[in-house]
Amino acid sequence: MIQPAIIDIEASGFGRGSYPIEVGYYLPNGRAYCTLIAPEPEWTHWDESAEQVHGIRRDILLAKGKPAVEVCLDLNRQLRGQFIYCDAWSYDYVWLGKLYDAAGLVPTFTLKDIRDLLGDCEKTLWQATRAAVELRLQLRRHRASSDARMLFETLLEARQRCGRHGI
């Protein structure tokens, strides 16, 4: 069975002016990557309700975040030539674009919607399967690599429940 790589992006908020603050992925071999992103000088939007969800303070980004160019080079090196799946494509596509624009680079991978991998059975079981996986994994943080792993495990379990074993 071909298993996909999953990416997740945490952001400063939603909608106009928001920007990526953390990116993480989970690969089929179990390898994970997660890093904070230093805000660009013009990235000033901050939504307190988004902070309540991801738990990342802006001052932490300023102190510990990596520059956009470094993050993009890491992602390009590790994900080159792959299809990378996410669960919020319309948001993640914009945030990834903002990150790569700031770095003056282009992704060497293709971002795709995880729903492209779901048949009718998986779509029907998705929410219940996700809740079961969240309970089983007991991930304590709502962070990018943890969320990517949860999505990966949800996809595998939904496929198994539906008797599907390939993409």
Q: Using one digit for the tens of pLDDT, what is the confidence trace for 20-72?
A: 999 999 999 999 999 999 999 999 999 999 998 889 999 999 999 999 999 99
Contact 144, 23 (CB under 8 A): yes
Strand partners, 11: 20
User: How many helices (H) and strands (E) are present in the chain, helices listed first?
Assistant: 6, 5
Q: Which domains does the chain have, with CATH numbers?
A: 5-162 (3.30.420.10)
C-alpha dist (Å) from residue 81 to 43, 63, 64, 78, 109: 29, 32, 29, 9, 5
Confidence of residue 86 (pLDDT cuts 50, 70, 90): very high
pTM > 0.85 = yes
Q: Using one digit for the tens of pLDDT, what is the confidence trace for 123-142?
A: 999 999 999 998 888 876 66
